[in-house]
């Protein structure tokens, strides 16, 4: 687990802002009839235009430049021309940009047209879970405080929290120590120190937390086929809290319309 220097933090800030700018552009694209491959094409081109590189492309063999995870897909959905978004779908778009060697990683779940109550519930619980996890972060807090805050809230709302995938340290390396579990016990785990950079990215399910990975070796789906939603930010721990590198400049049209606040 590395502590980033002021110079590295400035580079992380830039990477985060590039990733979020591309994600704001995706928001303009989201509507029924658009393929997940069209999202991939946009993310790829927009990332290059910003002088960055899309980290997912060829990462451990991942074939595309962004992950698009629809409905019961938990994460790592592979964009496809054949997958056309339909009214009522929810789609998580997970953008990771590399700028001057440093990574910015952020995702949101978008509503395609008007959501049904179940889709709205799981999405808003996931959104709020990330906020509550982030609220735990400051120097001296424990990693377990983050997971506990997320788990307590999501389970009280009748949802479950995925165990099989976790948040992660991030910097020059896409996924580095520590692993940031989205479940846990308060007061347990590593003590946070100013300058640590990591993601928090809770995956919240309407049914069981168990997942299966499809034969393509990437697409993770809920075992029971129920809906799943996710939000992700990249941040740095400070003495009094944290700085969110991937903070959005304003609300998203296709995601924040039911949110009390946006982060």
Among residues 48 and 86, whose Cβ is nearest to ligand MF3?
48
Q: Closest separation between CB of residue 156 and Co ion, Å?
A: 25
Residue 228 engages ligand MF3 in binding (rule: CB under 6 A): no
Contact set for ligand MF3, span 94-113 (CB under 6 A) = 94, 96, 105
Could you tell me where the DSSP H helices lie in the chain?
A: 6-27, 36-49, 117-135, 143-156
Binding string, residues 68-87; x marks residues near ligand MF3 by CB under 6 A: --------x-----------
Q: Closest separation between CB of residue 36 and ligand MF3, Å?
A: 13
Residue 62 engages ligand MF3 in binding (rule: CB under 6 A): yes
Q: Closest separation between CB of residue 232 and ligand MF3, Å?
A: 5
Contact set for ligand MF3, span 197-216 (CB under 6 A) = 199, 201
**Cα distance between residue 75 and residue 68, in whole Å:** 8
Strands (E), the chain: 53-54, 67-70, 73-75, 90-99, 102-111, 160-161, 167-169, 176-180, 197-200, 203-205, 211-213, 220-222, 228-230, 233-237, 242-244
Residue whose entry in the numeric block shows the structure tokens 């896409």: 174
- In Å, how far from its chain's centre is CA 204? 11
Q: Exposed/middle/buried for 215, CB within 10 Å: 0-12, 13-18, 19+?
A: exposed
Among residues 62 and 262, whose Cβ is nearest to ligand MF3?
62
Q: Closest separation between CB of residue 105 and Co ion, Å?
A: 4
Site of interaction with ligand MF3 (CB under 6 A):
56, 59-60, 62, 67, 76, 94, 96, 105, 199, 201, 232
């Amino acid at each position: 687990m590395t502590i980033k220097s002021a110079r590295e933090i400035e580079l992380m800030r830039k990477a985060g802002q590039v990733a979020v700018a591309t994600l704001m552009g995706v928001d303009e694209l989201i509507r029924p009839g658009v393929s997940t491959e069209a999202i991939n094409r946009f993310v790829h081109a927009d990332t290059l235009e910003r002088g960055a590189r899309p980290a997912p492309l060829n990462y451990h063999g991942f074939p595309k430049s962004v992950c698009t995870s629809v409905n019961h897909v938990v994460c790592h959905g592979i964009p496809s021309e054949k997958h056309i978004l339909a009214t009522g779908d929810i789609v998580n778009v997970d953008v990771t940009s590399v700028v001057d060697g440093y990574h910015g990683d952020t995702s949101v779940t978008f509503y395609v047209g008007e959501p049904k109550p179940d889709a709205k519930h799981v999405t808003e619980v996931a959104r709020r879970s990330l906020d509550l996890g982030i609220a735990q972060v400051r120097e001296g807090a424990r990693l377990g405080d983050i997971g506990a805050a997320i788990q307590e809230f999501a389970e009280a709302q009748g949802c479950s929290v995925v165990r099989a995938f976790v948040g992660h340290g991030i910097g020059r390396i896409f996924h580095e120590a520590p692993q940031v579990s989205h479940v846990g016990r308060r007061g347990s785990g590593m003590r946070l120190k100013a300058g640590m950079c990591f993601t928090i990215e809770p995956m919240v399910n309407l049914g069981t937390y168990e997942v299966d990975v499809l034969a393509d070796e990437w697409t993770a789906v809920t075992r029971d086929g129920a809906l799943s939603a996710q939000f992700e930010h990249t941040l740095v721990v400070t003495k009094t809290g944290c700085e969110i590198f991937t903070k959005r400049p304003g609300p998203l049209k296709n995601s924040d319309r039911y949110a009390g606040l946006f982060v």
